[in-house]
Chain A
């Protein structure tokens, strides 16, 4: 049992786990504090300055880095807080591409959340100069697009690549308004050490890192990745008769939301035109499409002659457990042999 801590946010008593930050505890309780650069999987960064709160007796502080303490009194709205937070939000918006309808992250964007929370006053925003970047888009990776013009420099991608992957394909480069997330030598991401796992794409709060050809699924199905033996829990995003997205399942103990390049992006084979969609019977050296009835009849009539040890089965390490059970039962109970194996050793 984790130690429990009681503290107050805007007068409401909150229970939180020891070690949780104020921001984490607030979000867990459905209390929104604006934030961009915080991510529960990563070390606090403290760069966006949006999660500023007032801690009674201690003054202003970012809430993403302060652990809860017994009896703390947190104020999320005060003139002091608003002064800093509103400016920080306005500065970010004034330097962001706001063609939201053309952005793959539309309605799933943390900056939109911030903007709608702060409440944009056009008069105030107009006082600021629009500072928009016009950098080339990096579409070198087959699976995702890097549009640094939309980057808010929250550093989540950098920390993901460093803390979680230990790959470090990207880091901050340059200074001032020229600060960018860059690969070594500013090369396209494909030529960097990037392993295309898409963990950064999954965490990017804005439209700076988005999957290519992103389509929103109409529903999601929880299942297990079909590749290696880790057995990552995934959520297949389905739309029409196609898989259009895969997300790691954060509740799966095997992967806790993490995925590799194959698991996250390697699903196109399911709808590939090469898929076998009909039984095939070889006639005169060439395959001919057949109905299941024809094919099964042929198989059954042939196999009748080979019952016993003239017969063998290769089961598979890739089909389901139930499939395997049925295959071995068939081999043993119907065909009467233990000549049964699969490529467990490969």
Chain B
């Protein structure tokens, strides 16, 4: 997030898009509802009817995968009606002319036709966003999990810049990160192309810094992404894999493919707290400690580094992940893995990571700190980009965009769009929540949510067992008829091992972020007998 969670309730306007906030980030959902209660204008853009629609001033129910058209359509209204924050654009942005040019393609009729949202509503939302400052944009994987997810995010950034909603409190472009420490993992360079603090692996200067610190030589070639690793495994280019706390067999798009890839490996080590579907395929399984059994930090979606404290001894012979990895490293001759406590690891992190430079466990005792925190005296940064952007020129670049349809659209053979998401009662592949009896009682099975009209046409009643089939595979689930799903769109989660939804999802990737298009794939639905 460019901004902080606490600021949300002081916003004058909130655009929530591609986020079922009350389900995936319930406590942020409370802040959005509080803001609405405080009088903020709330614009919800979502093909599905979500809880926030009930407090929204405008609900834009666009077709899945048409976000660029919708957002550029709004930008067009803002531009055409002279609602832009011209002084912000003047001082802080560049590339206006090219951007204007690209808006020409998004005339209201075209936008309405593509998105299915009446142009009057789009204009209303655009005026609301431009007319109520500060405005905060919240988004989640409904924006990113598309074959053009990067374009979606850029379109949001465009809107924020046009309306001057960046670099000040209660504004910003705010991705709601899905997992407890996805931010920390990224910050630490658990990515193929960057070291901790997003320092590029292909920069000689940076590499030399890390080589000096770690006392070894490092590869200058960016590595493979997760999906590419799986592909490489199938092709026998990657032969050994170390999986720490992940369950790609259930979580990856086109999951059958992921499973095949893992099976093709020579050697698979899985380190986890439970014997997950992925761990079952391992040659060696290493027992990890849970969050309650170790010290460390998580960095949340607002970049706040917060202390995780050990409350219990690790169960049985399980051990903290860092300890296990250090032991492997040492056995392989690695140097500099003799940490006695995570505090020492943080010491090393801060010495090598500019944005974490001011972080220490001593400071974190007093509460979390938001990076960038470049020095021990720095109070942390609740709002990013207050003065300049992280571009060469320091200016925000308005990005010309074009509308691209999803990689796979509904057709005669596969007439429904399947979009995936989460349930309030489960988390990811249910490794943890599936082992909480009460949560299973609240939600114990996969449901295929579909519009009653569609269901009627297929003779499907509430609770019927149905089969969902795509070009990649098929799963079964119980039908839940609900107008939350628009006609033509069906919805599933990916929480349940016995209905592995990702067997059917599309492997199409965003070319830049390599995010799979989990939000749109074409499926057919059929009632099962019995």
Binding site for B on A (CB under 8 A): 142-143, 163-166, 195-197, 221-233, 236, 238, 241-243, 251-256, 258-263, 265-272, 274-282, 287, 291-292, 295-300, 302-306, 308-346
A224: chain B residues at CB < 8 Å are 180, 291, 298, 300, 306-308
A280: chain B residues at CB < 8 Å are 275, 282, 284-285, 287
Give the CA-CA distance A340 to B184 in the complex, in Å.
Answer: 15
Give the Cβ gap from B139 to chain A, nearest Cβ, in Å.
Answer: 13
Give the CA-CA distance A341 to B513 in the complex, in Å.
Answer: 12
Choose from A142, A243, A341 the contact partner of B191 (Cβ within 8 Å).
Answer: A341
The 6 closest A-B pairs by CB, nearest first: A277-B316, A231-B300, A320-B296, A338-B223, A142-B438, A316-B245
Give the CA-CA distance A346 to B282 in the complex, in Å.
Answer: 22
Q: Which of B299-318 contact A (CB under 8 A)?
A: 299-302, 304-313, 315-318
Determine if B315 and A306 form an interchain contact, defined as CB atoms under 8 angstroms apart: no
Choose from A163, A300, A317 the contact partner of B182 (Cβ within 8 Å).
Answer: A317
Choose from B184, B215, B307 the contact partner of A324 (Cβ within 8 Å).
Answer: B184
B37: chain A residues at CB < 8 Å are 163, 166
Determine if B439 and A223 form an interchain contact, defined as CB atoms under 8 angstroms apart: no
Determine if A299 and B284 form an interchain contact, defined as CB atoms under 8 angstroms apart: yes
A317: chain B residues at CB < 8 Å are 178-182, 185
Determine if A318 and B179 form an interchain contact, defined as CB atoms under 8 angstroms apart: yes
Q: Is B158 on the interface with A (CB-CB < 8 A)?
A: no
Q: A320-B308, A326-B345 are in contact. Are A226 and B290 (CB under 8 A)?
A: yes
Choose from A314, A326, A338 the contact partner of B246 (Cβ within 8 Å).
Answer: A314
B516: chain A residues at CB < 8 Å are 345-346
Closest B residue by C-beta to A255: B27
Give the CA-CA distance A221 to B290 in the complex, in Å.
Answer: 14
A337: chain B residues at CB < 8 Å are 219, 223
Determine if A230 and B28 form an interchain contact, defined as CB atoms under 8 angstroms apart: yes
Choose from A164, A227, A228, A338 the contact partner of B222 (Cβ within 8 Å).
Answer: A338
Determine if A287 and B301 form an interchain contact, defined as CB atoms under 8 angstroms apart: no
Give the CA-CA distance A329 to B189 in the complex, in Å.
Answer: 9
A-B contact pairs, 19 of them (CB 8 A): A231-B180, A258-B30, A260-B26, A261-B26, A266-B432, A266-B438, A276-B275, A276-B288, A303-B328, A306-B239, A310-B238, A311-B240, A313-B243, A319-B245, A321-B296, A338-B201, A339-B223, A345-B141, A345-B513
A236: chain B residues at CB < 8 Å are 292, 311
Q: A236-B292, A280-B284, A323-B322 are in contact. Are A314 and B298 (CB under 8 A)?
A: no
Q: Is B321 on the interface with A (CB-CB < 8 A)?
A: yes
Give the Cβ gap from B187 to chain A, nearest Cβ, in Å.
Answer: 7
Q: Is B190 on the interface with A (CB-CB < 8 A)?
A: yes
Chain B 183-210 per-residue mask, 1 if CB under 8 angstroms from chain A, else 0: 1111111111101100001000000001
Closest A residue by C-beta to B280: A287
A345: chain B residues at CB < 8 Å are 141, 144-145, 226, 513-516
Determine if A166 and B55 form an interchain contact, defined as CB atoms under 8 angstroms apart: yes
Choose from A231, A238, A325, A341 the contact partner of B306 (Cβ within 8 Å).
Answer: A231
B438: chain A residues at CB < 8 Å are 142-143, 196, 265-266, 268
Choose from B30, B311, B321 the contact partner of A223 (Cβ within 8 Å).
Answer: B311
B334: chain A residues at CB < 8 Å are 330, 333-334
Closest A residue by C-beta to B299: A321
Give the CA-CA distance A263 to B27 in the complex, in Å.
Answer: 10
Q: A165-B30, A266-B439 are in contact. Are A341 and B223 (CB under 8 A)?
A: yes
A327: chain B residues at CB < 8 Å are 190, 242, 244, 321-322, 325
Give the CA-CA distance A327 to B244 in the complex, in Å.
Answer: 8
Q: Is B88 on the interface with A (CB-CB < 8 A)?
A: no
Q: Is B104 on the interface with A (CB-CB < 8 A)?
A: no
Closest B residue by C-beta to A225: B180
B431: chain A residues at CB < 8 Å are 269
Not counting A222-B309, A230-B27, a sample of 16 additional A-B residue pairs whose C-beta atoms are within 8 angstroms of each other reads A243-B312, A253-B6, A254-B300, A266-B432, A270-B290, A278-B287, A292-B319, A310-B240, A316-B246, A319-B244, A323-B320, A327-B325, A330-B329, A333-B218, A342-B190, A345-B515
Closest A residue by C-beta to B6: A253
Choose from A228, A242, A261, A331 the contact partner of B242 (Cβ within 8 Å).
Answer: A331
B226: chain A residues at CB < 8 Å are 314, 341-343, 345
Determine if A320 and B298 form an interchain contact, defined as CB atoms under 8 angstroms apart: yes
Give the CA-CA distance A196 to B436 in the complex, in Å.
Answer: 14
Give the Cβ gap from A89 to chain B, nearest Cβ, in Å.
Answer: 33
B513: chain A residues at CB < 8 Å are 345
A313: chain B residues at CB < 8 Å are 241-244
Determine if A339 and B304 form an interchain contact, defined as CB atoms under 8 angstroms apart: no
Determine if B432 and A269 form an interchain contact, defined as CB atoms under 8 angstroms apart: yes
Give the CA-CA distance A315 to B317 in the complex, in Å.
Answer: 21
Choose from A229, A277, A304, A343 the contact partner of B183 (Cβ within 8 Å).
Answer: A229
Q: Is B346 on the interface with A (CB-CB < 8 A)?
A: yes
Q: Which of A222, A230, A296, A318 has the most CB of B within 10 A?
A: A318
Determine if B442 and A261 form an interchain contact, defined as CB atoms under 8 angstroms apart: yes
Q: A310-B239, A316-B244 are in contact. Are A338 and B192 (CB under 8 A)?
A: yes
Determine if B229 and A341 form an interchain contact, defined as CB atoms under 8 angstroms apart: yes
